[in-house]
Amino acid sequence: MTDRNDSAAPGPDVRRELYRTMVLIRSFEEAILADYHADKKPAWDIGAGLIPGEMHLSAGQEPVAAGVCAHLRADDAVTATHRPHHFALAHGVDIDRMAAEIYGRETGLGRGRGGHMHLFDPATHFSCSGIIAEGYPPALGQAFAFKHRGGDGVAVAVTGEGAANQGAFHESLNLAALWQLPVVFVVEDNDWGISVPRSASTAVPDNSVRAAAYGMPGIRVEENAVEGVYSAAGEAVERARFGGGPTLIEVHTLRLWGHFEGDAQGYRPELADVPGRDPIPAYEASLRADGVLDEDEISRIRTEAAARVERAVQFAKDSPHPDPAQAREYVFAGAS
């Protein structure tokens, strides 16, 4: 549990920025949601339409990405999961090229070879993996390289709570602690590993206690609130940056929508309550109550976010499709 004093709390500028980041992410996810479903009716075909394939949206989990990435520089690394959009945007990945990748276009981050689970951006040292827990080990390597060269870069490795039962998770925590690598391990506990609740997958009440097994600090942020994440992450990033080694942070967050689009979530008994737990309206209300934002500012932030997302989506839609004649390129460096 976090138990922080007021000195760790963010000031008004930071609070506005946290809000702005979350709104941008949500605007993006809503646009993707609409386009993903727009042309898959009346018959559902996962491979059809403007955006084909699986789609794992991060709505509800914005506080984790916004709170963690607020402490990062562009030369810090982030490895995210199959649900990567919120961390990509919060870390500053180019929104146009990210959208283009999701729409499978040649202008995308991976020229349409990757897709929404495989986003790689060297400019922000961002990557993600569609394989549960397997984004952790490469983050160790990025942290190793930063430290090896005498720099102060930090790598943030993200997984969901279901990944904490994978071998890669435990191997990585041990090695990062053993070599005192500048890593912040983030677990997004959204209660559900697709359809399996945490209580049916995990032998401990929360994953932060697992940090003790590897001799590193472990923190559970129980509320899905961006400022709690911000405070916990600030301490962890600072520890990593100044040679104090890794930290494990678990945030009890919320999967607002399904595991992937098309998931009817019949397994989820609390479904009716979910919309009421949306973290963004709650944060907005608190900023309004504290006098940090007024209606005009809120409106402007929302309008700006929507406009930015619209430009990104338009960029994607206006971009050329990859040439099928080039389907075999980029397997090897220096070969195409």
Partner 1 sequence: MTATLNPPSTAGATATSRRLTTAKAIVEAIGQEMETAPSVILLGEDVGAYGGIFSSTTGLLEKFGPTRVLDTPISETAFIGLATGAAVEGLRPIVELMFVDFMGVCLDQIYNHLAKIHFESGGNVSVPVVLTTAVGGGYSDGAQHSQCLWGTFAHLPGLKVVVPSNPYDAKGLMTAAIRDDNPVVYMFHKGVMGLPWMAKNRRSTGEVPAESYQVEIGRASVARRGTDVTVVTVSLSVHHALDVAEQLESDGISAEVIDLRSLVPLDRAAIRESVARTGRLVVVDEDYLSFGMSAEVIASVVEHDPRMLTRAPIRVAVPDVPIPYARELEYAVLPTRARIEAAIRGVMQG
322 HSE (CA, 13 A, CB side):
23
| Separation between Cα atoms, residue 5 and residue 19, nearest integer Å | 21
Give the full edge-to-edge strand order of the sheet including 183-189.
126-128, 77-80, 155-160, 183-189, 247-252, 218-221
**Distance between CA 113 and CA 119 in Å, rounded?**
10
Rule CB under 8 A: is residue 34 a binding residue for partner 1? no
Q: Which is nearer to partner 1, 31 or 168 (CB)?
A: 168
Which window, 10-18, 23-31, 168-176, 206-214, contacts partner 1 (CB under 8 A)? 168-176
Q: What single letter denotes the amino acid at residue 61? A: Q
- 276 contacts partner 1 (rule: CB under 8 A): no
Measured distance CA(12)–CA(19) in Å, rounded: 11
Kindly give the residue spans of alpha helices, DSSP state H, lying in the chain: 12-38, 62-69, 85-90, 95-102, 136-148, 167-178, 226-241, 279-289, 295-318
* 3 state SS of 162: helix
Take residue 258 and report the two structure tokens written for it: 């399904």
User: How many C-beta neighbours within 10 Å does residue 106 have?
Assistant: 15
Give the interface segment with partner 1, choosing from 12-20, 40-48, 111-119, 258-266 (CB under 8 A). 111-119
- 90, 109, 229, 251: residue in contact with partner 1 (rule CB under 8 A): 109
Look at strands 192-193 and 196-197 and give their pairing: antiparallel
The yes or no reply on residue 324 touching partner 1 (CB under 8 A) is no
* Residues from 71 through 90 that contact partner 1 (CB under 8 A): 77, 79
* 142 near partner 1, judged by CB under 8 A: yes
- Determine which residue in the list 52, 110, 197, 217 makes contact with partner 1, applying CB under 8 A: 110
Q: Which residue has the tokens 């500048």?
A: 182
Q: With binding defined as CB under 8 A, does residue 120 bind partner 1?
A: yes
Q: Is 113 in the site for partner 1 (CB under 8 A)?
A: yes
Per CB under 8 A, 172 contacts partner 1: yes
222 is a site residue for partner 1 (CB under 8 A) = no
Q: State in angstroms the smallest separation of the CB of 64 from partner 1.
A: 21
CB of 164 to partner 1, least distance (A): 15
Binding residues vs partner 1 (CB under 8 A): 77, 79, 108-115, 118, 120-122, 125, 127, 129, 131, 134, 136-146, 148, 155, 167-168, 171-172, 174-175, 178, 329-334, 336
